[in-house]
């Protein structure tokens, strides 16, 4: 690996010829947690889907470099195998596919010859226990009839087993009560370390009470308007996004319905 874990260079993205991301530049090193905060409709989830290679979004300018390699045109499955993980704001149900089978298949695709099927059940059971997930969860269909908290625990369970190098967490705190939020945050914190970089996308400061970011970015109207330390998130909590939105007044336009929303 040469250079940062993730380097986004002047990224411009459109959907159906409408510009959504308007020159994003962002660098994440291994071991860092970056919080991307912005109001609804600002394009935050668009960035998460573009990083994962969603075909709906057209990159019109700029580059995405992962571990020094240009992945701007790389397909989603190749990005996942390379160690990029996306936790969805609204995870999709997969009726008929059990959690255990889903995770076993995902781990085989991620690790290839390095996958150890004999160790799978042991890893799954231990990880579920740390996330306070009951054992019968493994036999249920993926996200089918899950509560909001169960869906988010399942996302963190996937992340824990797949051991990504870059985790993009799209509003993982959305729809969680305080107990589920704490459990999910603890799961993320257990994974923190020199081998992982995290982009935590959120609307509210509350998850940052449990997950301390290294860098906070204010995201308005398809751009990063300001970056700073954790104190910036507290300022947003006090003042809201209005002062930052005023900086882009006259440019504001409605972002199309984002995938997963």
pLDDT at residue 1 greater than cutoff 70: no
Give dist(CA 142, CA 233) in Å, integer: 34
pLDDT band at 256 (very low <50, low <70, confident <90, very high): very low
CB 157 within 8 A of CB 132: no
> To the nearest whole percent, how much of the chain has pLDDT over 70?
94
CB 131 within 8 A of CB 157: yes
Q: 165-190, pLDDT tens digit by residue?
A: 999 999 888 888 888 898 889 999 99
pLDDT at residue 252 greater than cutoff 80: no
DSSP readout, 82-123?
Answer: TTEEEE-SSPPPEEEEEHHHHHHHHHHHHHGGG--HHHHHHH
What's the pLDDT at 174?
84
Given the structure tokens 């006090």, which residue do they identify? Answer: 238
What's the pLDDT at 2?
57
Tell me, what CATH number does 203's domain have? 3.40.50.300
Residue 257, domain member (yes or no) = no
Q: Give residue 151's Cα distance to chain centre.
A: 14
Residue 255, domain member (yes or no) = no
pLDDT at residue 257 greater than cutoff 50: no
Q: 30-79, pLDDT tens digit by residue?
A: 999 999 999 988 899 999 999 999 999 999 999 999 999 999 999 999 99
How many domains does the chain divide into?
A: 1
Residue 51, domain member (yes or no) = yes
Residue 260, domain member (yes or no) = no
Minimum mean pLDDT range among 11-20, 188-197, 238-247: 238-247
Residue 215, domain member (yes or no) = yes
Q: 79-115, pLDDT tens digit by residue?
A: 999 999 999 888 999 999 999 999 999 999 999 888 8
> What is the side-by-side order of every strand in the sheet holding 197-202?
84-87, 166-170, 197-202, 33-37, 215-220, 223-228
pLDDT at residue 126 greater than cutoff 80: yes
Residue 252, domain member (yes or no) = no
Give dist(CA 204, CA 197) in Å, integer: 21
The residue segments making up the domain with residue 223 are 6-247
Task: Write down the mean pLDDT value for the chain.
Answer: 91
Task: Give the sign of the dihedral formed by CA 204, CA 58, CA 88, CA 190.
Answer: negative
Residue 112, domain member (yes or no) = yes
Residue 256, domain member (yes or no) = no
Which residues, 6 or more positions from 250, have their beta carbon under 8 angstroms from its beta carbon? Answer: none
Strand partners, 170: 201
């Amino acid at each position: 690996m040469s250079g940062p874990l993730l380097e986004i260079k002047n990224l411009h993205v459109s959907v159906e010829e409408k510009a959504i991301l308007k020159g994003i530049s962002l660098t994440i090193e291994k071991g860092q947690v970056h919080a991307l905060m912005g109001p609804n409709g600002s394009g935050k989830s668009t960035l998460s889907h573009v990083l994962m290679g969603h075909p709906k979004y057209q990159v019109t300018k700029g580059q995405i470099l992962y571990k020094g390699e240009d992945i701007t045109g790389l397909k989603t499955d190749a990005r996942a195998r390379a160690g990029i993980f996306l936790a969805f704001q609204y995870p999709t149900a997969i009726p008929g596919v059990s959690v255990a089978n889903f995770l076993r298949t995902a781990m085989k695709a991620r690790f290839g010859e390095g996958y150890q099927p004999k160790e799978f059940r042991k890893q799954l059971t231990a990880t579920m226990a740390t996330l306070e997930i009951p054992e019968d969860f493994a036999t249920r269909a993926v996200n089918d009839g899950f509560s909001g908290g169960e869906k988010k625990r399942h996302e963190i369970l996937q992340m824990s087993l797949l051991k990504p190098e870059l985790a993009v967490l799209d509003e993982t705190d959305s729809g969680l009560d305080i107990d589920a939020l704490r459990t999910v945050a603890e799961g993320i914190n257990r994974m923190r370390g020199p081998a992982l970089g995290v982009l935590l996308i959120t609307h509210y400061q509350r998850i940052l009470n449990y997950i301390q970011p290294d860098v906070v970015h204010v995201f308005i109207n398809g751009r990063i308007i300001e970056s700073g330390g954790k104190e910036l998130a507290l300022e947003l909590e006090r003042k809201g996004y209005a002062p930052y939105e005023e900086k882009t007044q006259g440019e504001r336009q409605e972002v199309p319905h984002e995938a997963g929303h």
